[in-house]
Amino acid sequence: MGGSGAASVIVVGAGVFGLATGLALAEAGLKVRLVAETASGLTASGVAAGMLAPAFESVLDPPSPDSLGLLAAGRDLWPDLAGRLGVALDRSGAAAVGPDDWLGDLQARFAHLGLETREAGRAEMEAWTPGLAPRFRRALVTLEDWRIEPQEALAAMAARLRDLGGAVEAGALAARDLADPPGPVVLATGADRRLAALAPELALLSPIKGQILWRADQRPPSRVIRAPGAYLLGSGGGLLAGATMEAGRTDLRSDPQAQAGLRAALSDAFPEMPTGDWVTRVGVRAASPDGLPLAGASRRPGVFLAAGARRNGWLLAPLVAKIVTAAVTGEDGGRWAPRLDPSRFAPGAGEVLA
């Protein structure tokens, strides 16, 4: 596995898509060279919340009306991957807190999708986290949504890839550097227009800047808390709150003005929480026109894509890795491969992939 006689593949990008795909390729017996301009901990994956949340993503911000099955398929691959990596999955679930009319709407959406929830009262809510707004009297809990610690998981992926003989290198590869590669190339770089000449599908991706707030001086909740306009969870020994969605922005600057809505939502749901001294973490994600990743072969022969997750990179990473590895090795990518095929936006593709 990964020996001198194995086929070689270059993976560009060290976010969760790049590392998960590189690892899957190495486990399939290929010799992997992963090259990344940005260290994994500084990618959008590294500053993310690590939520594996098919339920809440389907009711709050679905990439498409029928996305639940796809998102759940990604989540269901995580126990096996986490076991191989030796990292923990938080399967305590997630809870929505907020006004009764908002919770009622969420409850109806969960029921429409066939997802079970249970109600929790005020005493249980206060046990999860102190400082909730007194007017919030009940919560909705789902056990469908899990979470993983991003930094720990990224480091474990890189370590296992090296253990399998793969190389993880810092550096930038431009299209000219990949014009005549010795083997397949997987682009897991997000909305990097510099490589669009190598893979024309990358031109479809648009950037989305996200800002997340973190602090170490407050007790983190015992499970993920969702409120209107914000979420709160424990991460890295502190309290993490997110997140902004700033379409079209690629800068990595902390922007308090863009955080105004997030901070207002936090103050509304947690009025006793300090408003200052948050540390801002910034990442730029990529989104395809339908909000789902590009996973599979590019129109350019020998080039494969693992990009464009929008806000579900962690959730879908094992599924994307499986599909891309199948495409590289000439195997069947499974049920969801056509749904994520990079060619789905080509004229006439809709009838085939509907």
**Annotated domain spans of the chain:** 8-49+150-205+289-353, 94-142+207-286
* pLDDT at position 220 over 60: yes
Q: What is the pLDDT of residue 288?
A: 94
**pLDDT computed for residue 5 by the predictor:** 55
CATH topology classification for 94-142+207-286: D-Amino Acid Oxidase; Chain A, domain 2 (3.30.9)
CA atoms within 13 A of residue 21's CA, in its CB half-sphere: 38
Q: Does pLDDT of 230 surpass 50?
A: yes
Q: What is the pLDDT of residues 173-202, one digit of tens each?
A: 777 777 778 789 999 987 777 777 789 899
Let me know: does 334 contact 323? Beta carbons within 8 Å.
Answer: yes
Bridge partners of 138, per DSSP, are: 121
In the block, residue with structure tokens 């199948």: 326
pLDDT at position 22 over 90: yes
Which CATH number is correct for 8-49+150-205+289-353, 3.40.50.11540, 3.40.190.10, 3.50.50.60, 3.40.50.1110? Answer: 3.50.50.60
Give the Cα-Cα-Cα angle 17, 21, 23 (nearest 5 degrees): 125
* Beta-ladder partners of 8: 31
CA 166 – CA 189 distance, rounded (Å)? 18
Instruction: Return the percentage of the chain with pLDDT > 70, whole number.
Output: 95
Specify which of 21-35, 178-192, 337-351 reaches the highest per-range mean pLDDT: 21-35
Residue type, 288: S
Whole-angstrom distance, CA of residue 249 vs CA of residue 123: 41
Mean pLDDT of 267-295: 94
Tens digits of residue pLDDT in 116-126: 999 999 999 99
Distance CA 354, CA 348 (A): 11
pLDDT bracket for residue 42 (50, 70, 90): confident
Please report the pLDDT score of residue 6 as a whole number: 65
Torsion of CA 317, 318, 321, 327, to 10 degrees: -120
What mean pLDDT is reported for the chain?
A: 92
Per the CB < 8 A criterion, the answer to whether 197 and 176 are in contact is: no
pLDDT of residue 240: 96
Q: How far is CA 238 from CA 8, 34, 131, 241, in A?
A: 41, 31, 16, 10
| pTM assigned to the model | 0.94
Instruction: Tell whether the model's pLDDT for residue 2 goes beyond 60.
Output: no
- Cis geometry, peptide bond prior to residue 243 (ω within 30 degrees of 0): yes
pLDDT value of residue 353: 36
Q: Tell me the pLDDT tens digit for each residue of 321-334.
A: 999 999 999 999 99
Q: Is 32:161 a contact under the CB 8 Å cutoff?
A: yes
Instruction: State pLDDT tens for residues 136-146.
Output: 999 999 999 99
245 contacts: CB under 8 Å, gap ≥ 6: 208, 210, 311
pLDDT over threshold 70, residue 348: no
- In this prediction, residue 1 carries a pLDDT of 38
Residue with tokens 């994956």: 45
How long is the chain? 354
154 pLDDT more than 90: yes
Nearest to 284 by CA among 47, 50, 74: 47
Give the pLDDT score at 3.
44
Strand, coil or helix: 281: strand
